[in-house]
């Protein structure tokens, strides 16, 4: 979704492609499945295959959504590069879209009820402004909450992966470079 926070990073290292793949593969374990309390030693849960991965940090902190991290390891002339892309998970997207649809449905319902009941357009708009202001305020506050929590979690993951692969350079990618195929 275009209105969800997205962060992309590039981590450059002198380590070989194979070494970076090995290290990243060691810290990503399989999802917990139906047992969320199953003990795992890996700090990230998800899938890893052939230098590409999709994972989430394995931390059960209530109130802070964990970003979905997709990554790709690429070899370059002097070492390797790890591209990371962090965005809210599917649950946050579904919640945002569901909320917008709920408010839109209520607004449409008000217009239909007013048309059937013979209410004037001024009466309908007067009632609808309150609903629209509430919807806008809710979506705006949720967006701020999502952005702050995703950035905080992204920082933790970026620092973890930078230390893991002994990154010599960490750079944020601008919007024009955020699609790296991971």
**27: alpha, beta or left? (left if phi > 0; alpha if psi -120 to 50):** alpha
Asked if residue 122 is part of any domain, the answer here is: yes
In the chain, which residues have pLDDT < 70? 1-4, 32-40, 59-64, 121, 173-182
Same domain, 128 and 158: no
Q: Write down the residue that tokens 């979704």 correspond to.
A: 1
Distances in Å between the Cα of 109 and the Cα atoms of 63, 105, 182 are 32, 6, 41
pLDDT at residue number 14: 93
Residues 72, 8: contact at Cβ < 8 Å?
Answer: no
pLDDT at residue number 164: 93
Same domain, 15 and 84: yes
Residues 168, 11: contact at Cβ < 8 Å?
Answer: no
What does pTM read for this prediction?
0.73
User: Can you give the residue range of the structural domain that contains 44?
Assistant: 7-88+152-177
78: nearest Cα among 169, 171, 16: 16
Asked if residue 145 is part of any domain, the answer here is: no
Pairing of strands 169-172, 68-75: unpaired
Q: CATH code at 173?
A: 3.30.310
Same domain, 20 and 80: yes
Asked if residue 39 is part of any domain, the answer here is: yes
108: nearest Cα among 100, 143, 93: 100
Same domain, 72 and 158: yes
pLDDT at residue number 174: 56
Same domain, 81 and 162: yes
Asked if residue 40 is part of any domain, the answer here is: yes
Same domain, 54 and 112: no
Same domain, 22 and 38: yes
Asked if residue 146 is part of any domain, the answer here is: no
């Amino acid at each position: 979704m275009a209105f969800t926070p997205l962060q992309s990073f590039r981590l450059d290292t002198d380590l070989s492609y194979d070494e970076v793949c090995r290290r990243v593969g060691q810290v990503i374990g399989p999802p917990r499945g139906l047992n969320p309390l199953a003990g795992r030693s890996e700090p990230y849960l998800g899938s890893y295959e052939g230098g590409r991965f999709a994972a989430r940090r394995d931390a059960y902190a209530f109130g802070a959504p964990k970003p979905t991290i997709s990554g790709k390891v690429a070899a370059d002339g002097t070492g390797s590069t790890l591209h990371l892309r962090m965005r809210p998970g599917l649950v946050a997207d579904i919640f945002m879209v569901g909320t917008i649809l709920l408010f839109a449905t209520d607004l449409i319902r008000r217009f239909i009820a007013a048309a059937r009941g013979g209410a004037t357009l001024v009466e309908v708009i007067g009632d609808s402004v309150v609903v629209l202001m509430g919807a806008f305020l809710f979506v705006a506050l949720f967006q701020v909450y999502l952005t702050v929590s995703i950035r905080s979690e992204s920082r933790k993951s970026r620092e973890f992966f930078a230390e893991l692969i002994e990154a010599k350079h960490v750079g944020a990618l601008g919007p024009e470079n955020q699609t790296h195929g991971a």
